[in-house]
């Protein structure tokens, strides 16, 4: 990212300015804002990312899609500069507590051509002991080191935590309360009938309505957060635990960790409407928007009109004030977006650009930024590709550096424009308009950004009337730094097939 003069004066990018202030005045000021609306989150499955310590590789099976592959906290810490360079400001890591030692045989979808495989808790969600660290991931000291080093780079750390269930056949199956009640519900259960008492995926379900069980789980995760110094929790299987648990959880995390401790809920199927009751009760700060991924995939594949998709993007602004929707393109529980788009990188780039210019908390699934190969479960959990760099377990796996460059520009554009992080939304596309066009505007900073999207496989011309603030101004295409004049209050711009243009008013902001 370059610092340069533009008409109207010299300006330093927000991220660079903040870093300079941190270096000059830390620890007088905090280098991590408590407002997560400014952040971009990067989700890592620790075991699949980078191996920094071969000493903890006991039982590693890199050819097994369900086995441990050797990534660890130390390796992730060594790669933090890569994330900082990309523009990441928050790191989400999977649960780190001790996993069940045994594996279970599993069958992938037949179309993937994977025979029956042994599935271990490499992902962190099959906990056997909430009071111990998983040795494959590393030690508590190494977790502390990761957080410390991330904070030095102005990167927050979000720890995934589990309250709903234990691992299959875990040590908790024998636990009893003082009056003899079992801690767990064992067996199957219909989650559509009763999401709280069902057994998700057949996993043993903690009876969180029992005070002894509740207090144990809360205290174990809160103690770990305090020891490690993390900035928030990602709450697994949020919809499968009762509301009064989450209200107590909110009260205790604020009282025992920090009043600004961030909580992001995985409420399966959540969107602005279905998450609002939890925001209304202030149970969490944010929830995943499960509607975003499929909606963008459908749009770039030609489904529906531009105005319909543009209206959907506008509907996301109905989120309750002060709360966030976390929107993603891929996850460890769903097929990779690039796979769903038949490996069409032009379509994928459009979705990435829309993600980074939309309201909410963008979440990047590790390796998306380099077009990591992956498909459905379990092949949506492949190793981070490192190309020719000598980093295991993904050494030699192909990566697309031009895609990373594109992501890097997108992230810096988002960081430089308050309008993209918290601005309002105006849809310009009409009923017959093939080009998607919308404006994000932040009144507080008088910052406006125009986004144009051509999803067609042919060249189109975008021609739109713009609000008065744009009249008579010179605008710059943030993706290529080319200036463009506004004539008679309109912008007329050629659009290459399957392309995006992001315009901002030239006002002394730095380029990229």
| pLDDT of 483 higher than 70 | yes
| pLDDT of 4 higher than 60 | no
Can you list the domains of the chain with their CATH numbers? 41-422 (3.20.20.80), 427-505 (2.60.40.1180)
Average pLDDT over residues 464-484: 89
Cα separation, 238 vs 459, in Å, equals: 45
pLDDT value for 20: 53
Task: Give one DSSP letter per residue of 137-197, joined into a string.
Answer: T--HHHHHHHHHHHHHTT-EEEEEE--SB--TT-GGGG-B-TTS-BSEE-S---TTT-TTT
Cα torsion 132, 137, 141, 144 to 10°: value is -100
pLDDT value for 192: 85
The pLDDT tens digits for 146-197 are 999 999 999 999 999 999 999 999 999 999 999 999 999 987 778 888 999 9
Question: By C-alpha distance, which of 428, 410, 429 is closest to 420?
Answer: 410
Q: What is the mean pLDDT of the chain?
A: 92
| pLDDT of 142 higher than 50 | yes
Average pLDDT over residues 97-116: 96
| pLDDT of 473 higher than 90 | no
Report residue 264: phi and psi, to 5°: -115, 120
184-185 and 156-161 strand pairing:
unpaired
pLDDT value for 12: 45
Cα separation, 265 vs 279, in Å, equals: 10
What 3 state SS string does 13-80 have? CHHHHHHHHHHHHCCCCCCCCCCHHHCCEEEECHHHCCCCCHHHCCCCCCCCCCCCCCCCHHHHHHCH
pLDDT value for 6: 33
The structure tokens 């720890």 sit at: 159
- Sign of the torsion angle spanned by Cα atoms 354, 356, 362, 365: positive
Percent over 70 (pLDDT), the chain = 92
Predicted confidence band of residue 471 (pLDDT cuts 50, 70, 90) = confident
| pLDDT of 14 higher than 50 | no
Q: Which helix (H) or strand (E) holds 211?
A: helix 211-228
Count Cβ atoms within 10 A of the Cβ of residue 54 and give its class: 0-12 exposed, 13-18 middle, 19 or more buried.
exposed
Using alpha carbons only, give the angle 203, 205, 206 rounded to the nearest 5 degrees: 140
| pLDDT of 454 higher than 70 | yes
Answer for the pair 9, 509: CB distance below 8 angstroms, yes or no: no
Predicted confidence band of residue 32 (pLDDT cuts 50, 70, 90) = low
Q: For residue 363, what are the CA distances in angstroms to 27, 88, 292, 356, 369?
A: 28, 10, 11, 9, 11
pLDDT value for 329: 98
The pLDDT tens digits for 238-273 are 999 999 999 999 999 999 999 999 999 999 999 999
Cα separation, 146 vs 78, in Å, equals: 9
Q: What is the CA radius of gyration of the chain?
A: 23
pLDDT value for 26: 45
Which residues on neighbouring strands pair with residue 119, listed in sequence order?
104
Q: Is 269 helix (H, G, I), strand (E, B) or coil?
A: coil
Of 231-235, 311-315, 316-320, 483-487, least confident by mean pLDDT is 483-487
The structure tokens 């009762």 sit at: 242
Answer for the pair 171, 128: CB distance below 8 angstroms, yes or no: yes
Average pLDDT over residues 444-470: 96
- Helix axis angle for 306-315 and 291-300, nearest 10°, is 160
Cα separation, 344 vs 355, in Å, equals: 17
Cα separation, 158 vs 349, in Å, equals: 26
pLDDT value for 22: 54
């Amino acid at each position: 990212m370059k610092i340069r003069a533009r008409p109207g004066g010299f300006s330093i990018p927000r991220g660079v300015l903040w870093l300079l202030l941190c270096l000059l005045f830390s620890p007088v000021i905090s280098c991590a804002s408590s407002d997560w609306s400014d952040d971009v989150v990067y989700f890592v499955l620790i075991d699949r990312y980078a191996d920094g310590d071969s000493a903890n590789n006991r039982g590693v099976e890199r050819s097994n899609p369900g086995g441990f592959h050797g990534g660890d906290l130390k390796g992730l810490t060594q790669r933090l500069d890569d994330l900082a360079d990309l523009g990441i400001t928050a790191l989400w890591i999977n649960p780190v507590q001790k996993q069940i030692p045994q594996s279970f045989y599993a069958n992938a979808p037949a179309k993937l051509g994977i025979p029956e495989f042994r599935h271990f808790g490499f992902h962190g969600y099959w906990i056997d002991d909430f009071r111990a660290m998983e040795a494959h991931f590393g030690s508590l000291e190494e977790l502390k080191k990761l957080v410390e080093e991330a904070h030095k780079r102005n990167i927050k750390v979000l720890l995934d935590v589990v309250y709903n269930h234990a691992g299959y056949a875990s040590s908790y199956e024998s636990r009893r309360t003082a009056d003899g009640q079992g801690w767990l519900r064992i067996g199957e259960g219909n989650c559509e009938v009763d999401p709280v008492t069902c057994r998700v995926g057949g996993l043993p379900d903690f009876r969180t309505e029992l005070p002894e069980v509740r207090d144990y789980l809360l205290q174990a995760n809160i103690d770990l957060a305090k020891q490690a110094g993390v900035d928030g929790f990602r709450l697994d299987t949020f919809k499968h635990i009762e509301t009064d648990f989450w209200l107590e959880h909110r009260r205790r995390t604020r009282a025992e960790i920090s009043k600004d401790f961030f909580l992001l809920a995985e409420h399966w199927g959540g969107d602005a409407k279905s998450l609002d009751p939890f925001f209304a009760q202030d149970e969490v700060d944010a929830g995943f928007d499960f509607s975003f991924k499929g909606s963008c995939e459908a749009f770039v594949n030609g489904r529906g009109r531009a105005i319909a998709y543009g209206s959907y993007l506008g509907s996301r602004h109905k989120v309750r004030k002060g709360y966030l929707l976390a929107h993603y393109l891929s996850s460890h529980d769903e097929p990779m977006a690039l796979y769903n788009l038949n490996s069409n990188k032009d379509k994928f780039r459009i979705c990435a650009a829309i993600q980074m210019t939309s309201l909410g908390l963008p979440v990047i699934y590790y390796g998306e930024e380099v077009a990591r190969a992956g498909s459905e479960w379990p092949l949506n959990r492949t190793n981070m590709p490192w190309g020719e760099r000598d980093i295991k377990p993904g050494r030699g796996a192909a990566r697309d550096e031009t895609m990373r460059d594109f992501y890097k520009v997108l992230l810096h554009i988002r960081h430089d424009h308050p309008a993209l992080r918290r601005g309002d939304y105006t849809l310009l596309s009409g009923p017959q308009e093939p080009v998607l066009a919308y404006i994000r505007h932040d009144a507080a900073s008088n910052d406006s950004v125009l986004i144009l999207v051509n999803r067609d496989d042919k060249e189109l011309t975008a021609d739109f009337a713009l609000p008065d603030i744009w009249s008579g101004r010179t605008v710059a295409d943030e993706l290529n730094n080319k200036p463009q004049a506004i004539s008679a209050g309109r912008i007329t711009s050629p659009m290459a097939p399957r392309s995006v243009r992001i315009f901002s008013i030239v006002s002394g902001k730095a380029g990229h």
